[in-house]
Amino acid sequence: MADHDVLVVGAGLAGMRAAIAAHRAGASVAMMSKVHPVRSHSNAAQGGINAALRGADDSVDSHVFDTVKGSDYLGDQDAIEYMCAEAPSEIIALEHMGVIFNRDEEGRLGTRAFGGASYARTFFVADITGQAILHVMYEQIMKAGVRSYEEWFVTDLIVEDGACKGVIAMEMLTGKLRAVSAKTVILASGGVGRAFEPSTNALICTGDGIALAYRAGATLLDMEMVQYHPTTLAGNGVLLSEAARGEGAYLLNSKGERFMEHYAPKMKELASRDVVSRSEQTEIEEGRGVDGCVLLDLRHLGRELILTKLKYIYEAARDYAGVDMADDPVPIRPGQHYIMGGIKTDIDARAWDAAGSAGWDGPRGLFAAGEAACVSVHGGNRLGANSLLETVVFGKRAGEVAAAYARETPDFEVPPSRLADAERGLKELLDRPDNGEMTGALRLEMGRVMNEHLAVFRTEDGMRTALAEIRSLKERYQSLPVKHKGGVYNTDLIFHVELGYMLDSSEAIVASGLLRKESRGAHFRRDIPDRNDGEWLKHTTARLGADGPEVGTLPVTVTRWEPQARVY
């Protein structure tokens, strides 16, 4: 009999929200993550979470419109409407769980302004919102007593007869492979930022779930849509939250000008992220930068506000850039931050086409939520503070739908041969002869290629170069050895497998980028600088074929908002 009704892979916000929802729906649930849940990268979301809860003039429609416009009209509007409509009750649910949201003078929930939003609808906990929600979510997991496989690394999805039936995973503390069967698997394992170097992302963000689904036959959507965040530190790529600009910080060029006034006269620093990042890059390339950066200036906000509302940012600038932000502006530049694309799902978080014959598909019983998934609500560009929202809204949905699906799924056994095959594969990998290649060196090359050719500005030539280089890295990967052979906590082995995952995602990103012959959202092509709604108001798809990604397109769902020119 199957070990679990619902197995959630990844234990960040989407994963834990899914686990709680499935648990409440009566399913037997387990979570599995290669790190302890509170180490997950949801921690890094600093600024807040959006909801049109009760602003006097705000409305769910306004939130939907801002998100649609932010997505450069690539987001599916039915999914966006669902997310924004669910947002207010999810904020309240989080508050009831114990999140210590900022309050107004009456003791009710208070908000701050954020990029690309018409109203101040971002709920927050200083500049540690993700951390504050993640830790409270884990409190709820402890309360519910949900089974948690901590430091288990998934190496394979078990797919039989077109249905996902569990995972093969390595228990990191022993190095043993195990088969864990489940009637449904929810992939909530985050994005693939580490395919880029530098990136704001944690070292664990290697897109494991994206690659696992892709290899298992699922469809990836809009993989070319990679967000560069406007304010990252030059050295190690550490993020300084948009909350800084939300609270009123300026962006300055080398002449001390607030250059965003030229690019986005109305919203200025709070235009959407793709717009701000391109503007910064233009300033830098046209010679108005400072050592490859522009400046983030908080001085006029005053030390007290900085230390209460932006304390983490203040510490990060101090520790990693050596700048006291109350006294001096800090050099920042656009840096890889987020992937809007991911595993194609429907509004119910299903990674297969339950409706039938719509031109995409994936294994039945496989679900995805959070950054690993593409519903799609962010389209070509995600608005700040919409990612936390997506994790909880679609995490919850995934948990509920998976629990219901599991109830109707007959029990089964996974044949022992699955585990034996995996063990044989692992042995072959460990037995590879040492040819002198290092995993770290290959990873850095991949990161450099992606950051050079798939960044804020792209071209056909650049992406063709990237594709060739990624393919050559994949060749070398085929004979890349694992140097350390031990069982206990063998990170050399883990990094090896992760690199394989990232190379698959990278190839899908480049192939999708080459397919989209227009500029939209984060995908800005210098050789084709205009959006082309006539031909390209479409999603790109990528499925794994015999020779790499097979790309295609899917229509975008437009409900009430016809594409318009995008001006901030």
Partner 1 sequence: MQAKIRVQRYDPESSEQPWLQEYDVDAPERYSVLDALVKVREEIDPSLALRCSCRAAICGSCAMRVNDQARLACNTRLSSVVEDGGTVKIEPMGNQRVVKDLVVDLQLFWGKVRAVQPYLQPDAEPGPEEEFIASNESMLNLLTPMGCIMCGACVSDCTALEVDENFLGPAALAKSYRFVADPRDGKSGERLGALNEYGGVWDCARCYMCVEVCPKGVAPMDRIMELRESVMASGAPGTPGSRHVQSFANSVARSGWLDETMLAVDSWGKKNVPKLLSEAPLGIRALRRGKFPMPAFLHHKRPGHRNVRRIFERAEAGKE
Taking the complex as a whole, the smallest distance from the CB of residue 495 to partner 1 amounts, in Å, to: 8
List the one residue out of 36, 35, 30 whose CA is nearest residue 166. Answer: 30
Comparing CA positions, the residue from 332, 367, 335, 42 lying closest to residue 204 is 42
Q: Least distance (Å) from partner 1 to the CB of residue 132?
A: 5
Closer to partner 1 by Cβ: residue 160 or 315: 315
Cα 252 to chain centroid, rounded: 29
Q: List the structure tokens of 511.
A: 């192939």
Question: In angstroms, what is the minimal distance from the CB of 302 to partner 1?
Answer: 17
The Cα diameter of the chain in Å comes to: 68
Structure tokens that stand for 121 in this block: 């609808």
Nearer to partner 1, 487 or 548 (CB): 487
Q: 127: Cβ–Cβ under 8 A, 6 or more apart, which residues?
A: 46, 47, 241, 243, 309, 310, 311, 312, 313
Task: Name the 3-class secondary structure at 543.
Answer: strand
Nearer to partner 1, 103 or 464 (CB): 103
The nearer residue to partner 1, 140 or 459, going by C-beta atoms, is 140
Residues that bind partner 1 (CB under 8 A): 35-36, 38-41, 43-44, 88-89, 92, 95-98, 100-110, 125-126, 128, 131-132, 135-136, 139-140, 142-143, 173, 202-204, 235-236, 238-239, 308, 312, 315-316, 319-320, 438-441, 483-484, 486-492
C-alpha distances out from residue 481 to 413, 436, 461, Å: 34, 8, 32
CB of 151 or CB of 353, closer to partner 1: 151
Annotated catalytic residue within 17, 112, 273, 333:
273
Beta carbon of residue 136, minimum distance to partner 1 (angstroms, whole number)? 8
| C-alpha separations of 325 from 235, 242, 249 in Å | 17, 15, 11
Q: Measured between alpha carbons, how far is 242 from 127 in angstroms, rounded to an integer?
A: 9
> Would you call 273 a catalytic residue per the annotation?
yes
* Residue type at 511 in one-letter notation: A
CB 88 to partner 1: min, Å: 8
Minimum distance, C-beta of residue 191 to partner 1, in the bound complex (Å): 13
At which residue do the structure tokens 């929202």 appear?
A: 389
Q: What is the dihedral of CA 73, 78, 83, 89, to 10 degrees?
A: 140
Q: Which is nearer to partner 1, 96 or 255 (CB)?
A: 96
Q: Which two tokens stand for residue 436?
A: 């002198």
Distance from C-alpha of 181 to C-alpha of 199, rounded to nearest angstrom: 34
Catalytic residues: 273
